[in-house]
C-alpha cells in the first residue's frame, strides 16, 4: 500500500499523520489521535454515530477518506467543551435527558450545533428534518428535540 | 440535598462523559499488541463441511493466524457454549447450521488485512435440506441437530438430555381447569393464528469482545449484559476456577437483550490462546444480523366466551423460531410462555409453548423476552372477539381483566398489578367515551387499545458491595450493566436514600468481575428489583456498621458527627474501611412439570397498557400514528425522568417492530443485513403525539416500592396499532409488520380485488 503524509488542523491544533489511501476519518482519529467520540456503527453513512465536522460541515467519518482532510479544519466532539465548561448544546442534552446509551450522542450534538449555527431559532419541524439523518436506537428522540430547543434558548441568552 | 434520593429526577451520573464523547465502549477499545480477528462465515443454511481451504488467507502478508475449529479444539477440547444448551460451537464443527455461522477466523494487526484475507478462504459444503419455518420444524422431517445438549444449568431442562430426532428444544405445558369442557359449553368460540417476524436488536455499538489470555488467567473486555455469566462459562470452557477469569464491561452502546449470555467471548478467548496475544473481535453492523435476533413466532389462540361476555377458556399454542442455536430460547418459551393467555381472569387455560430449532440465525431475548410476540396475538384476538360480539373493546377487557388478589393462569395470586388503572388512564387519555372523527377522502381514522402483563424471570440472584472510606466517601460495587437504562444512577440513588447522602456523591464501580460481585445478568427488567434490593441491603448493613462504629467510639445515639471523625476516633488517623454486602434472591416455587402451575411464579408483575390513534390511507396502505399513549405500572419510580425515557424509548423501539422492521430472508440468507436496507425508527417516525405515564403504584416487596420498567412499554404497541388499523378501515391483520404493502393487500382482499404479485 502507498502511504502518504497529510497535515491538517485538528480541534484547533496542527496535526500530521501517515495514512493509507483506504483509511477513513474515524480510523485516523481513533488510531492516530486516540479520539473515540466519532464511532463507526453502520459503516454506510446511515446512522450519524461517526459525525465529524470538516471545514465546518458535518461528514460521516466512516465514509470520508482520511486523505480528504489534508489541509482541512477538522473538529470532533472532543473540541466542543471549553475546558470544564460544556457547550450550550452539551448542557442542554444533559438537562433534557437526551441520551441513554450515549453511543450516538456525539453525532447528535455535532449536528444540533451545526443546526443552531445555521438557524438559531429552529421550530420543531426544522429540528426533526435537520436531525433525520442521525439514528438513536434507544429512541431518545423526544428528549433530543427538547434539548435542541433548550440549547437554542441558552445560546440566545449567552 | 442529602437524603430523599428516591423519586429524584437526577440526570445520569455519567452524563458528562457521554456528551463529551469520552464514555468508553468495547467496540472502540484497543490493547497494546492486539490483533484483530475477522470472521469467515457459512454461505449455506445447512450442510456438512467438506473442506476449508485457508491457504490463500494464510499467505496474505500481515496475517498471523487463520483458525478453524480444528485449531480451536487443540486449546478447548469441547468448545460448545450457551446458556440453556451447550449447542453452539466456537467455530463450526463438521456441520454448518445457518447462513452466517462463523466457520473460520483470520488474525492480523491491521483489521483491513484480516478482512481481505478472510474473503480468500474457500469452504465447500455438502448441502443438506434446511428448515426455516417454526411450524414446519415441529414435524421433524429435517433435523437441525442430531441430539439435544442441555447445559444442566436449569433443572427443568435436564430431562431433555440426549433426546434425538427432534427440533423441539423445549415443550412447556400449562394446564388449568377443563378447557375442552368449557369450549363444549361455550356460547361463542373464536380461533385465530398470529405471526411475528424476525427482527434485530441493532444496538448502534455492534458486538465486541477483546480477550487477553495468559497461562495464569484471562481478562476479557466485552460489550456484555451479563459479565458474571460470561465468567462462569469461560471458566467452564477452560476448566479453570472462576478467579482466573476476569470480565470487564465498560458502558454499552445499547443491548436490548442482544448482548446477553455469551456471544463473541468464547471465540475471542480461543483466538487469544492460539495467538498468545490480545485479540479483538468486533462485529460489523452486517454481522449483527448473523449473531442474535428476536424470535419469530406463530401463535394459535382459541377462546371460549359465555353469554355474559366472560372469557371461559383459552387455549394457546405458541411456536418460537429459535434458529440454529438455542441461546435463551427455552427460557423465553417457558418464562414468557406461561403468560400466553394474557392478563385475564380465566378459569380454564391450556398453553403449549414450543422452542424450535431451525436453520436461521439464532434468536434470543429482545426487550420483552417473548412477551411482545404474545401480546400481539392475544390482544389482537381479544379485540377481534369484542368487535364480533359488538362489545366495547375497553369494556370487554375490563370485564375479564385480572385483578389484584385473583389467581393468574399459573395459579400464582396476582399482587400489585395496577393493570386496570393503566387501562383506565389510556382510555382517559384517548377520550374513549367520545366518538372520534372518522376521516374523509382516502384517509380513515381509528383507535385501539391493548393491555399486558409479564412475569420477571425467576429465580435469580444479585449481590452488591459497599465500601466506605475513612474520609466518609462511599463506593458501590455493582455488576448491573448500564447500557443506557440508567442503572448506575438509580443504584446510587438507593445508596443515597439509605445512607442519607446525595446520589452524586456515591461512586459506582461498574462491572469488573474481579471486584464487582455476582449478578445473574442485566435482563428482563430484573435489575432495579433484584440488584436494587441487594444494593439496599448492602447500604443498610453499611448504615448499621457506621452506627456500631459510633457506639464503639463513645458517640451518643443520634450523634451527627461526620463519618470521617468516627474513623479518626477509632483508628487515630484517616484509616480503615467499612465494608458491607447485600445479597438478594426472591422466593420462587418451580412449576409442577405436569401442569405448569405454581403458587409463586414471580416476585412481581410488570403491567402495561397502550392506546393508539391512526390514520390509514386506503389508497396506499400507509399508516400514520397520530397518537400513541403508553402507560405502565412500574411501582414507585426511583428516578421519574429516567422512567419516562424508558417508557418512551421502549414504545418507539416497538413502533419500528410494528410498522416496518423485518429481516427479509431468502433460503436462509438475510437479504437486508444493513442499515441501508433495514430501517429503524428515526426522528421523523415519531408519532404526532406521544404520551407516557407511570401510574401511581407501589410494589409492596420492591426496593422503596419500585419494580422494573425497561421492557413494559414495548408490550402493547403492536396490538394497539393493529387494533386501531382494523377500527379505521376494517382489515383484520394477523402478521407483523404492518407495512403499507401488507395493509394495501388486506384492503384489496377485503374489497375482493386482490393485489397481484410483482
What is the predicted ipTM?
Answer: 0.98
- Among A30, A47, A77, give the residue marking a domain's end: A77
A10 with A72, same domain: the answer is yes
Residue A131 lies in a domain: yes
Catalytic residue among B265, B691, B711, B726: B711
| A100 contacts in chain B (CB < 8 Å) | 254, 484-486, 645, 649
Question: pLDDT category, B1, cuts 50, 70, 90?
Answer: very low
B642 touches chain A (CB under 8 A): yes
Indicate whether A98 and A64 sit together in one domain: no
Contacts with B21 from chain A: Cβ below 8 Å: 35-38, 76-78, 105-106
Q: Are both A72 and A93 inside the same structural domain? A: no
Q: Do A93 and A68 sit in the same domain of this protein?
A: no
Distance CA B348, CA B616 (A): 38
**H, E, C per residue of B107-156:** EECCHHHHHHHHCCCEEEEEECCCCCCHHHHHCCCCCCCCECCECCCCHH
Model confidence at B682, pLDDT cuts 50, 70, 90, reads very high
Please name the residue of chain B whose CA is at the shortest distance from the CA of residue A94: B15
Cis geometry, peptide bond prior to residue B503 (ω within 30 degrees of 0) = no
pLDDT in tens, A41-52: 999 999 999 999
Taking an 8 Å cut-off on Cβ atoms, the answer to whether B25 and A30 are in contact is: no
Mean pLDDT for B275-290 is 98
pTM: 0.97
Q: How many CB atoms lie within 10 A of CB B402?
A: 23
Cβ neighbours for B359, distance < 8 A, ≥ 6 positions apart: B45, B46, B97, B98, B130, B131, B132, B142, B144, B323, B324, B668
pLDDT tens for each residue of B458-477:
899 999 999 999 999 999 99
Tally the C-alpha atoms within 13 A of residue B535's C-alpha that lie toward its C-beta.
36
Q: Test A90 with B19 for CB contact under 8 angstroms.
A: yes
Q: How far apart are CA A108 and CA A140, in angstroms?
A: 11
Q: Are residues A152 and A111 in the same domain?
A: yes
Interchain contact B753–A (C-beta under 8 A): no
pLDDT of the residue at B154: 77
* A22, A49, A77 - which closes a domain: A77
B615's CB contacts (< 8 A; 6+ apart) are B439, B443, B444, B445, B623, B624, B626, B728
Residues A65 and A107 in one domain: no
- Read off the DSSP letter of residue B334: I
Query: How many Cβ atoms sit within 10 Å of the Cβ of residue B477?
Result: 22
Q: In this predicted structure, what is the pLDDT of residue A1?
A: 60
Q: What percent of chain A has pLDDT over 70?
A: 99
For residue A2, what pLDDT is reported?
86
Whether residue B498 is predicted with pLDDT greater than 80 in this model: the reply is yes
Note down the domain range covering A61.
4-77
CB pairs under 8 A between A and B: 158
Residue of A nearest to B487 (CA): A100
For residue A80, give how far its alpha carbon lies from the nearest alpha carbon of chain B (Å): 8
Residue B158: its pLDDT value, please? 81
Q: Do A54 and A11 sit in the same domain of this protein? A: yes
In the block, residue with C-alpha cell 382482499 = B749
Mutate to test the interface with B, among A1, A81, A101 (most CBs of B within 10 A): A101
Q: Which residues of A touch B285 (CB under 8 A)?
A: 41-44
Does A82 reside within a domain? no
pLDDT score recorded for residue B758: 65
In a domain, A83, yes or no: no
CA separation for the pair B603, B454 (Å, rounded): 11
Inspect the interface and report whether the beta carbons of A129 and B485 lie closer than 8 Å.
Answer: no
Which one of A137, A147, A149 makes the best mutation probe of the B interface by having the most chain B beta carbons within 10 Å?
A137
CA angle B719–B725–B728, rounded 5-degree value:
140
Rounded to a whole number, what is the distance in Å from the CA of A37 to chain B's nearest CA?
A: 4
CATH number of the domain to which A122 belongs: 1.10.150.120
CATH number at residue A10: 3.10.20.30
A29, A58, A77 - which closes a domain: A77
pLDDT at A28 over 70: yes
| For testing contact with chain B, the best of A41, A65, A105, A151 (most B CBs within 10 A) | A41
Percent of chain B with pLDDT over 90: 96
Interface check for B205 against chain A (CB to CB < 8 A): the answer is yes
Residues A152 and A103 occupy one common structural domain = yes
Residue B705 reports pLDDT greater than 50: yes
How confident is the prediction for chain B on average, in pLDDT? 97
Contacts of B14 in chain A (CB under 8 A): 102
R_g over Cα of chain B? 27
- Please tell me the distance from the alpha carbon of residue B86 to that of residue B493, in angstroms, as a whole number: 39
C-alpha closest to that of B605 among B463, B715, B689: B715
- Please indicate whether, in this complex, the C-beta atoms of A93 and B19 are within 8 angstroms of each other: yes
User: A63 with A125, same domain?
Assistant: no
Lookup result for grid cell 403508553: B630
- What domains appear along chain B, each with residue ranges and CATH number? 31-130+207-282 (3.90.1170.50), 293-403+414-457+592-750 (3.30.365.10), 460-584 (3.30.365.10)
Alpha helices by DSSP H, listed for B471-524, are 487-499
Domain match, A8 and A45 both: yes
What pLDDT shows up at residue B156?
74
Q: Is-contact B35 B279, C-beta < 8 A?
A: yes
State the total domains in chain A: 2
Mean pLDDT of B498-524: 96
What value does the mean pLDDT take over residues B150-176? Answer: 89
The pLDDT, as a whole number, for residue B2 is 52
State the Cα–Cα distance between residues B690 and B629, nearest whole angstrom: 6
CA distance A119 to chain B (A): 19
Per-residue pLDDT reduced to its tens digit, B209-240 = 999 999 999 999 999 999 999 999 999 999 99
Active site residue B497: no
Q: Give residue B77's Cα distance to chain centre.
A: 31
Tell me how far apart the alpha carbons of residues A111 and A105 are, in angstroms, rounded to a whole number: 10
Q: Binning pLDDT at 50, 70 and 90, where does residue B160 land?
A: confident
First to last CA, chain B: 65
Same domain, yes or no: A17 and A48: yes
Domain match, A73 and A8 both: yes
Q: Per the domain annotation, does A153 fall within a domain?
A: yes
Whether residue A143 is contained in a domain is answered as yes
Confidence band (pLDDT; 50, 70, 90) for A127? very high
CB atoms within 10 A of CB A98: 29
As a whole number of angstroms, the distance between CA B175 and CA B162 comes to 26
Work out the minimum CA distance from A7 to partner chain B, whole angstroms.
23
How far is the alpha carbon of B206 from chain A, nearest alpha carbon, in Å?
Answer: 7
Amino acid at each position: 500500500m502507498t502511504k502518504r503524509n497529510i497535515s491538517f488542523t485538528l480541534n484547533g491544533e496542527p496535526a500530521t499523520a501517515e495514512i493509507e489511501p483506504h483509511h477513513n476519518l474515524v480510523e485516523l482519529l481513533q488510531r492516530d489521535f486516540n479520539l473515540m467520540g466519532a464511532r463507526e456503527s453502520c459503516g454506510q453513512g446511515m446512522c450519524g454515530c461517526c459525525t465529524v465536522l470538516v471545514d465546518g460541515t458535518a461528514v460521516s467519518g466512516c465514509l470520508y477518506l482520511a486523505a480528504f482532510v489534508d489541509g482541512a479544519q477538522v473538529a470532533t466532539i472532543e473540541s466542543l467543551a471549553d475546558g470544564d465548561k460544556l457547550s450550550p448544546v452539551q448542557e442542554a442534552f444533559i438537562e433534557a435527558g437526551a441520551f441513554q446509551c450515549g453511543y450516538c450522542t456525539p453525532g447528535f450534538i455535532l449536528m444540533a450545533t451545526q443546526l443552531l449555527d445555521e438557524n438559531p431559532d429552529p421550530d420543531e419541524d426544522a429540528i426533526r428534518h435537520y436531525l433525520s439523518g442521525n439514528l438513536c436506537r434507544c429512541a431518545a428522540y423526544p428528549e433530543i428535540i427538547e434539548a435542541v430547543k433548550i440549547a437554542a434558548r441558552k445560546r440566545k441568552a449567552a | 440535598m442529602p437524603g430523599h434520593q428516591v423519586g429524584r429526577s437526577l440526570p445520569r451520573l455519567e452524563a458528562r462523559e457521554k456528551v463529551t464523547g469520552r464514555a468508553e465502549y468495547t467496540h472502540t477499545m484497543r490493547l497494546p499488541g492486539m490483533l484483530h480477528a475477522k470472521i469467515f462465515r457459512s454461505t449455506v443454511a445447512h450442510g456438512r463441511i467438506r473442506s476449508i481451504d485457508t491457504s490463500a488467507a494464510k499467505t496474505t502478508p500481515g496475517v498471523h493466524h487463520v483458525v478453524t475449529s480444528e485449531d480451536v479444539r487443540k486449546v478447548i477440547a469441547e468448545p460448545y457454549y450457551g446458556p440453556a444448551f451447550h449447542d453452539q460451537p466456537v467455530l463450526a464443527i463438521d456441520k454448518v447450521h445457518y447462513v452466517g455461522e462463523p466457520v473460520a477466523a483470520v488474525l492480523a494487526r491491521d483489521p483491513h488485512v484480516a478482512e481481505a484475507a478472510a474473503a480468500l478462504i474457500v469452504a465447500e459444503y455438502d448441502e443438506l435440506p434446511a428448515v426455516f419455518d417454526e411450524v414446519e420444524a415441529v414435524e421433524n422431517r429435517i433435523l437441525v441437530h442430531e441430539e439435544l445438549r442441555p447445559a444442566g444449568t436449569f433443572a427443568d431442562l435436564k430431562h431433555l438430555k440426549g433426546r434425538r430426532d427432534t427440533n423441539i428444544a423445549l415443550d412447556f405445558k400449562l394446564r388449568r381447569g377443563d378447557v375442552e369442557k368449557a369450549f363444549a359449553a361455550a356460547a361463542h368460540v373464536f380461533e385465530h393464528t398470529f405471526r411475528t417476524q424476525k427482527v434485530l436488536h441493532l444496538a448502534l455499538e455492534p458486538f465486541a469482545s477483546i480477550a487477553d489470555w495468559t497461562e495464569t488467567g484471562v481478562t476479557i473486555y466485552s460489550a456484555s449484559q451479563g459479565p458474571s455469566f460470561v465468567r462462569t462459562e469461560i471458566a467452564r470452557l477452560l476448566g479453570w476456577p472462576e478467579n482466573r477469569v476476569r470480565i470487564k464491561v465498560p458502558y454499552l452502546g445499547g443491548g436490548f437483550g442482544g448482548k446477553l449470555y455469551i456471544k463473541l467471548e468464547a471465540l475471542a478467548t480461543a483466538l487469544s490462546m492460539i495467538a498468545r496475544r490480545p485479540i479483538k473481535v468486533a462485529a460489523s453492523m452486517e454481522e449483527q444480523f448473523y449473531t442474535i435476533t428476536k424470535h419469530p413466532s406463530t401463535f394459535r389462540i382459541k377462546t371460549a366466551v359465555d353469554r355474559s361476555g366472560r372469557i371461559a377458556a383459552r387455549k394457546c399454542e405458541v411456536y418460537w423460531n429459535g434458529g440454529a442455536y438455542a441461546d435463551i430460547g427455552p427460557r423465553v418459551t417457558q418464562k414468557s410462555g406461561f403468560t400466553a393467555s394474557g392478563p385475564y381472569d380465566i378459569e380454564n387455560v391450556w398453553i403449549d409453548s414450543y422452542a424450535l430449532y431451525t436453520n436461521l440465525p439464532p434468536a434470543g431475548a429482545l426487550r420483552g423476552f417473548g412477551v411482545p410476540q404474545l401480546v400481539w396475538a392475544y390482544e389482537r384476538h381479544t379485540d377481534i372477539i369484542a368487535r364480533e360480539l359488538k362489545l366495547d373493546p375497553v369494556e370487554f377487557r375490563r370485564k375479564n381483566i385480572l385483578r389484584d388478589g385473583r389467581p393468574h393462569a399459573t395459579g400464582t395470586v396476582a399482587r400489585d398489578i395496577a393493570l386496570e388503572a393503566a387501562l383506565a388512564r389510556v382510555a382517559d387519555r384517548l377520550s374513549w367515551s367520545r366518538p372520534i372523527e372518522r376521516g374523509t377522502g382516502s384517509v380513515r381514522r381509528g383507535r385501539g387499545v391493548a393491555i399486558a402483563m409479564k412475569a420477571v424471570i425467576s429465580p435469580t440472584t444479585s449481590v452488591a458491595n459497599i465500601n466506605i472510606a475513612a474520609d466518609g466517601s462511599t463506593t458501590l460495587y455493582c455488576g448491573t450493566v448500564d447500557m443506557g437504562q440508567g442503572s448506575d444512577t438509580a443504584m446510587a440513588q438507593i445508596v443515597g436514600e439509605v445512607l442519607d447522602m446525595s446520589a452524586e456523591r456515591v461512586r459506582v464501580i461498574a462491572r469488573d468481575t474481579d471486584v464487582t460481585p455476582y449478578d445473574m445478568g442485566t435482563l428482563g427488567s430484573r435489575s432495579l428489583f433484584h440488584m436494587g434490593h441487594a444494593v439496599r441491603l448492602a447500604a443498610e448493613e453499611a448504615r448499621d456498621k457506621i452506627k456500631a462504629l459510633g457506639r464503639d467510639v463513645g458517640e451518643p445515639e443520634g450523634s451527627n458527627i461526620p463519618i470521617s471523625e468516627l474513623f479518626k476516633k477509632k483508628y487515630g488517623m484517616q484509616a480503615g474501611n467499612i465494608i458491607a454486602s447485600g445479597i438478594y434472591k426472591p422466593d420462587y416455587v418451580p412449576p409442577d412439570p405436569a401442569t405448569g402451575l405454581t403458587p409463586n411464579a414471580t416476585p412481581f408483575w410488570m403491567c402495561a397498557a397502550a392506546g393508539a390513534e391512526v390514520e390509514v390511507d386506503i389508497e396506499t396502505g400507509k399508516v400514520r400514528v397520530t397518537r400513541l399513549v403508553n402507560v405502565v405500572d412500574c411501582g414507585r419510580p426511583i428516578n421519574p425522568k429516567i422512567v419516562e425515557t424508558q417508557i418512551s424509548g421502549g414504545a418507539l423501539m416497538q413502533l419500528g417492530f410494528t410498522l416496518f422492521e423485518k429481516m427479509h430472508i431468502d433460503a436462509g440468507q438475510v437479504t437486508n443485513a444493513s442499515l441501508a436496507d433495514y430501517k429503524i425508527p428515526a426522528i421523523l417516525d415519531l408519532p404526532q403525539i406521544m404520551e407516557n405515564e407511570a401510574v401511581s403504584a407501589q410494589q409492596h416487596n420492591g426496593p422503596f416500592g419500585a419494580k422494573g420498567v425497561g421492557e413494559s412499554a414495548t408490550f402493547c404497541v403492536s396490538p394497539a396499532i393493529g387494533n386501531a388499523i382494523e377500527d379505521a378501515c376494517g382489515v383484520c391483520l394477523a402478521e407483523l409488520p404492518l407495512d403499507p404493502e401488507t395493509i394495501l393487500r388486506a384492503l384489496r382482499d377485503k374489497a375482493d380485488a386482490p393485489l397481484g404479485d410483482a
